[in-house]
Amino acid sequence: MKLTTIWIVWLFLAIGSLGGALFVLLDAFDAKKDAAAWVQAVGSVAAILIAIWMANKQSQERIEIVRKQENELLKKIYGVAKYAAQVSVNTFVYINQEHPEATIVRKFLGALRECEILSREVSFTQVPLSEVALGWLELRHAISDVRDHAERYLEDPAFDNRDRYYMELAKNRAINALRRMAEGAGTDVPEILATI
C-alpha cells in the first residue's frame, strides 16, 4: 500500500509538470485563453487512467487474497485427509495382526469416528478444486467403511478372510482418495504416500 501511495504522488507530480509544460507551450503560441480547457482535459484523462489502474490493482489484490485463502483451506483439508488415511491404514494393519486386543481396536475405532467428524465439518462444496473435492468425498466413504469393519471385528472377533478383504479394499480406497486429492492439488504424491 505504501508503494502504491508513492507512485500516486509521483504521478501527480508528473501531471503537474506536464500541466506546467503545457501552460508554457500555450503561452508560446499565444493560446492562453484555452489553457483552462486543456488542463481540464489532460486532468480528466489522467484521472480516468488512474481510476482504471487502481480498480485493476484492487481486483488483483482480491484475487490474491482469495487464492491464499483457498490454499490455506486445501492445506487444512489435506492434513485431515492424510491423518484419516493413516488411521485407516493403521486400523487395518492392527486388526490383521495375530490376536489384536479389543481395547486397542476400540482406540482405533474412536480415532476413525473422530476422522469422520472432522471430514464432515468441511462440506464437499467448500473444497476449492474439483479433483480434491472428489477425493475428499471418496475418503469420507472409505473411513466410514473401515470404521464399519472395525466395529464388525469387535462384535465378532472371528473375522474371516472375506471381512479382511473388504476392509483392505476400504483401506486402499482411503489411500487412493488421498492420492487423488494430492494429484488434484498438485502435491508431491510419492513423498506423501511414503509416510503412510
Distance in angstroms (rounded) separating the CA atoms of residues 150 and 157? 10
**Is residue 49 over pLDDT 70?**
yes
Distance in angstroms (rounded) separating the CA atoms of residues 77 and 150? 24
Cell 487512467, residue located = 49
- The C-alpha cell that represents 130 in the structure block: 474439483
The 10s digit of each residue's pLDDT in 81-96 is 899 999 999 999 998 8
The 10s digit of each residue's pLDDT in 24-40 is 777 777 766 776 777 78
DSSP letters for 150-190: HHHHHH-S---HHHHHHHHHHHHHHHHHHHHHHHHHT--HH
Q: How far is CA 33 from CA 1, 27, 59, in A?
A: 40, 9, 41
pLDDT tier, 108 (very low <50, low <70, confident <90, very high otherwise): very high
The 10s digit of each residue's pLDDT in 133-151 is 888 899 999 999 999 999 9
**Is residue 125 over pLDDT 90?**
no
